Structure 1
C-alpha cells in the first residue's frame, strides 16, 4: 500500500493575532493600531504601548517567551521539509507499530464540575450519617467501626478529610493559575490572587494536620472558656476571618459582580460551618459529650457546610476564568499512544 504524505507549513502568525488570542487587546483596537501603523510608519507594539492598551513589560515578555520561539521552530520546520520533501514518497505496512501520540483535551465545565463535586460531598455526608447510625444503634458486626470511622466527617486521615483537603488544594491551584496569568498581563491585583492561593494552601495543610484543633486546650485553659467557646480555637478563627475580610475588601469590590457574589456566598457558607456550627457543636459536646448521634449530626453538617463553601468557591474561580480571562482555559489533557497496522517509514531510515 502506498500513501502520499503532504504537509503544509502554516504561515507565520502576525503579532496582532497573538495579542488577540491572549486577550490582551480586541479586534477593534488592532484595527486602530494597524491603521496608525500604516500612517505613522511605526512598529505595532510601539503604537499599542503608546495608546496604553498593553504594557511594554507584557509585550516584551510575550515576544520573548511565545512569539520568537514559535517563529523559530516554524522556520526550522520549513528548512527540514524543503530538504526532505522530494525524498519522502512511500510508506510501508507493518503490524502492531506505533504512530505519533494523539492528545485528547477535555475542557473543564464550571457547572458540571461543581455538580460532580457537590454530589460527592452529599454522598460523603450520607455515608457519615449511616456509619454513625450503625455504630450507635446497631449490633456490632464485622468491620462496623472501621467503616464508620472511614467515613466519619469528624475524624482525620480518612476519605472525607482527603476529599476536603483536595477541594482546598484545587482552589489553591486555580488561584495560582489566575495569579500567573495576571502577572503575565501586568495586572496590579496579582498580589491578592497570590495571597489567596497561599491561604488556601495553608487551609489544605491544616485540614489534614488539624493544627487549629491543637489550639483548643491551651486557649480554653487560658481563658476558662465554655459554652459556645468550648472549642476555643474559633476565637482566633474569627479574628483571622475579620482580618481577611478587611484586607481583601477592595479586591472583592473590584471583581465582576457575579464573581464577587459567588465568593461572598461561598465564604459565608464556609465560615458558618467552620465557626458557627462548630460553636454549636462545642456547646452541645460540653453538655452531652461527643460520643452520640446528636453530636455526629452536628459535626456532619458542619463539615458539609465547609465542603459546600469551597465547592461554590471553585465554581466562582472556574466561571471567572471562563468568562473574564480570555485566552485562558482549564482543561485536562490526555496523551494516548495508539497502535496501528501502518507506520510511516523514511526511505533513508
Structure 2
C-alpha cells in the first residue's frame, strides 16, 4: 500500500519508482482578501503571556514573603497560575480556542480539496475545544476529585492521559506522516512540550502534595509555574505553526501573511 502524503497517494516519476509529493491545491490570494499578519499577532500574544507571567511571579514572591493576606490580596486570585477562572486561565482557554478555530479552518480547506485527512483536522479542532473548556473550569481535576482517592489522583491522571495519548498516536500516525517537514517538526515540538507540562509536571506537582509539601512551598510553586509555562508556551508555538501552515492558502475572505 503506498504511503499517503499530504492527503494524496504519491505517483511515480518517469517510471523510476520514485515518489512525488502531491501538494494540496494552493488557492491564489484575491485582491480583496483580508490580510492577517501572523508575526504581529503572535508578538502581541507573547506580550500578553509575558505580562501574565510577570504578574504571577509577583504573586509568588508575595506568597513566599508570607504577606499574601496583607499585601495585594486580590492579585492572587486574578493572576496566580494555579487558579481557575482567572486571567491566565482565560488567556490559555482563548489560545486553545484560537488553535481550534485554525484547525477547523484547515479542515474546511482540506474537505473542499477532498483531502483524505480532512476528518483528522476536524477531530483535532474538537479536541482543542474540549481542552479549552477543561482549562477554563478544570473538568479533569473535578473528575479526579470525584472518582479517585486523594493520594492516587496523580497516578490515575498519568494512566488515563497516557492511554489517551497512546490511542491518539495510533489513530493519527498516518496523519502525522502526511504533514510536510516543517509542520511535522512543529507538531512534535508543541505536543512534546505540552505533554511534558500537562502530564509530567502536573503529576510531579501532585506527587509533591502527597509527600506533604504545602501548595505555598517554593518547590511546588516552581513546578506549578513550569507546568503552566510549558502548556501556555507550547500552545502559542502551535498557533504559530498553524498560521505558517495556512500561508499558502487564501480562503474565506482572508490570507495569512
Which residue of the partner structure matches residue 310 of structure 1?
A: 235
Contact persistence 2:92–2:232 (CA under 8 A): yes
Deviates more, 1:131-140 or 1:156-165: 131-140
CA root-mean-square deviation: 2.7
Contact persistence 2:157–2:203 (CA under 8 A): no
- Does 1:117 find its partner at 2:42? no
Q: 2 CA distance for matches of 1:174 and 1:327?
A: 12
Which residue of the partner structure matches residue 94 of structure 2?
A: 166
Residues 141 and 274 of structure 1: CA distance in aligned 2, closer, same or farther (over 3 Å)? closer
Which residue of the partner structure matches residue 21 of structure 1?
A: none
Q: State the secondary structure of the residue aligned to 1:233.
A: helix
Contact persistence 1:129–1:296 (CA under 8 A): no
- Does 1:179 find its partner at 2:107? yes
Deviation per residue, 1:98-140 (Å, 9 max, x gap): xxxxxx9863233333333223223222211111211331546
How big is the shift at 1:297? 2.0
Q: 2 CA distance for matches of 1:303 and 1:150?
A: 15
1:322 pairs, out of 237, 240, 247, with 247
Larger radius of gyration: 1
How big is the shift at 1:239? 1.2
Q: 2 CA distance for matches of 1:291 and 1:231?
A: 22
1:124-273 superposed matches below 5 A: 124-139=52-67, 144-221=72-149, 225=152, 230=154, 232-273=156-197
Q: State the secondary structure of the residue aligned to 2:104.
A: helix
Residues 259 and 150 of structure 1: CA distance in aligned 2, closer, same or farther (over 3 Å)? same
How big is the shift at 1:201? 0.6
Contact persistence 2:33–2:250 (CA under 8 A): no
Q: State the secondary structure of the residue aligned to 2:202.
A: helix
Q: 2 CA distance for matches of 1:273 and 1:142?
A: 32
Residues 202 and 285 of structure 1: CA distance in aligned 2, closer, same or farther (over 3 Å)? same
- Does 1:274 find its partner at 2:202? no
Q: 2 CA distance for matches of 1:307 and 1:330?
A: 26
Which residue of the partner structure matches residue 16 of structure 2?
A: none
Deviates more, 1:294-303 or 1:138-147: 138-147
Structure 2 residues without counterparts, runs of 5 or longer: 1-21, 26-31
1:291 pairs, out of 208, 216, 223, with 216
Q: State the secondary structure of the residue aligned to 1:133.
A: helix
Residues 183 and 198 of structure 1: CA distance in aligned 2, closer, same or farther (over 3 Å)? same
Contact persistence 1:171–1:200 (CA under 8 A): yes
Contact persistence 1:215–1:232 (CA under 8 A): no
